[in-house]
Chain A
């Protein structure tokens, strides 16, 4: 350190600058890390997800006797319920509805 700063008086200053930089960068790095952790979670199925099921898509693999997945999975229940409501306005006889994906998966299995 001494040889780099060419004098004892500069060493504490360089050291302080390095510490200040480190204390500035540490929260930024932590925030980035937290963001990437959240992203990693986003790439995994969530504990609660919803799907719209109906009787279209009968050719799909994703069907049970209750119906087939028409839309989703979604993590926003309101979006799912709104989608099913809109769908039923077009085709009220299809009995399309929003169900929790977990329940649907259990039946499918």
Chain B
């Protein structure tokens, strides 16, 4: 496994070097040189239309794979600063000890090896929309004919006084899976017996609406086994939350007395300030809660690169035409996943994957003459409350009257037989395998 990975790393590097060299040979007349940055493009750039995908999450990886697989004529480049993707979905199971982090981490190699996607392991720092270039952190740039932007979310650190990127190492948001999730698990494991864990969910919209409450459930699951007198306080910025009756039913049955939910109206709008040195969380009423560990999830908006490229509305979300997921502000750019304001769809891995398929077809229509079909979207969010108590909410969507709208929906019901929840567990696990394979397999 290790050998295979190392080999893949070298292959990527060699491919990228060859890529750069061929572009250099093509001479400056073919390359757009701006502000001292080198621009690299495939040797046959003039012959093959170029799709650049920025961000290798559930949406970006899916766009890259489907365009490369179904339209080999299109040169697909994925710009992503990590060599592997750790899924935010299912990461709460890692907190409970029900999955390893390694099992939630998937390399991008198959996209290159099976579908010919060019992997550029670098951070995309800016988009030059006039020149149709993605600028990279190392000073180089990649040229595109179409750009699929999947930058995920960024955090509004001004919303909670004292909460900064460095404070996030003491009170992890764990809303970008990987190191943050690892930190949170360590802090939960290190809590004193009978300690207090505070979870502060944000105002809507944000990534995975039931996520914070699944997190409370999975941390309670861990505490029940390892620290049964610990307590969880949810200091919410809202007065209600997704699947609330289902979570409350599950908490009463599985973790009686362990989880206390404080709505915004009870806490002056939720968390307003933190003091990470003292591990203090202060709500809008001025109440100070001393925590042994905490997870603060700040309000969110589209990933920074979408903001800096002026592709967002005044609330910080990317505006798209939901019939194709094409930016309403730039016809050469498609925006998919959590960064997009996608009508009635929530921000979830399933939704991102579904949007990516719509965008992939529209990109193939632009660059390869593929036939367009009316956009259809699907989503399901499963939430783990206890070992065999998994609930779900989902919908089918279509583009109608200028926006993405619900066609039909379903949601688990309070009081369902255990066998139904148990089947949901199997369904959720099967879905995880399927989406990981669909994105990156």
Contacts and interface: CB of A to CB of B under 8 A. Distances in A.
Nearest to A61: B433
Contacts of B388: 86-87, 90
A67 to B, nearest CB: 13
B277 interface: no
A83 B426 contact: no
B96 A79 contact: yes
A99 interface: no
Interface in B361-386: 386
Contacts of B103: 45, 72-73
B100 A91 contact: no
Given A70-B429, A79-B225, A83-B387, A91 B98 contact: no
Interface footprint category on A: 20 to 34
Contacts of A73: 99-100, 102-103
A76 B419 CA distance: 25
B422 A90 contact: yes
Contact of A74 (B99, B105, B422, B425): B99
A100 interface: no
B97 A76 contact: yes
B255 to A, nearest CB: 14
Contacts of A36: 179
Nearest to A77: B97
Nearest to B387: A86
B97 A75 contact: yes
B3 to A, nearest CB: 14
Given A82-B225, A83-B387, A90-B388, A43 B98 contact: no
10 contacts: A39-B179, A43-B105, A57-B426, A57-B429, A60-B433, A73-B103, A74-B97, A86-B386, A87-B388, A90-B419
Interface of B: 1, 84, 86, 96-103, 105, 178-179, 182-183, 225, 386-388, 418-419, 422, 425-426, 429-430, 433
